[in-house]
């Protein structure tokens, strides 16, 4: 299962697409490292930390965009982010405590976040936001 960036991830909202692409690149980097290292040594905490921090920043940016534009499904979107944030924070805590992370579980979580959240949940706000900001 290899992640490939394609137009299905594009919202057409430049700032959001840049951020999603950055998250995608970080996941790709992490995935390459995990391929090499997971079974032998520890997974690269630095990339994971960067990925988790950036993901949280992206959520804050996206939420303020939706809130400022009175997106009617803001609360549902925020709840979806909050659930992802809880998982992200758990990974961060485990890393801070030098706990071993389950690589396949982490990769599954990231796939889930990219495919389900960006392609389905984020796509829901696209036409509404585009109309508002145009
Ligand atoms: Fe997003
Ligand atoms: Fe989102």
Residues, Cβ < 5 Å to ion ligand 1:
62, 122
User: Any idea which ligand is nearest the CA of 83?
Assistant: 2
Range of lowest pLDDT (6-15, 26-35, 68-77):
26-35
133 and 16 Cβ atoms separated by less than 8 Å = no
Q: Output the CA 40–ligand 1 centroid distance in Å.
A: 33
Residues, Cβ < 5 Å to ion ligand 2:
62, 122
Range of lowest pLDDT (29-43, 48-62, 77-91, 106-120):
29-43
pLDDT tens sequence across 77-110? 999 999 988 988 888 788 788 787 777 788 788 8
pTM for the predicted model, two decimal places: 0.86
10 and 56 Cβ atoms separated by less than 8 Å = no
Check residue 111 and give its pLDDT: 78
Using 50, 70 and 90 to split pLDDT, how confident is the model at 40?
very low
Check residue 115 and give its pLDDT: 82
Task: Name the superfamily (CATH) of residues 14-133.
Answer: Hemerythrin-like (1.20.120.50)
3 state DSSP class of 2: coil
Q: Output the CA 104–ligand 1 centroid distance in Å.
A: 23
Domain boundaries, the chain: 14-133
- Segment 32-45 mean pLDDT: 62
Sign of dihedral through CA atoms 48, 49, 55, 56? positive
């Amino acid at each position: 299962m290899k992640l490939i960036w394609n137009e299905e991830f594009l919202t057409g909202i430049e700032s959001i697409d840049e951020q999603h692409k950055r998250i995608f690149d970080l996941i790709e980097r992490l995935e390459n490292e995990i391929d090499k290292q997971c079974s032998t040594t520890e997974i690269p905490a630095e990339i994971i930390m960067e990925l988790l921090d950036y993901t949280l920043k992206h959520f804050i940016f996206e939420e303020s965009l939706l809130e400022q534009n009175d997106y009617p499904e803001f609360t549902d979107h925020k709840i979806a982010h909050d659930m992802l944030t809880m998982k992200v924070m758990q990974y961060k805590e485990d890393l801070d405590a030098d706990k071993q992370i389950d690589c396949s579980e982490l990769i599954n979580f990231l796939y889930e976040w990219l495919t389900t959240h960006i392609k389905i949940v984020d796509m829901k706000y696209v036409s509404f936001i585009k109309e508002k900001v145009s």
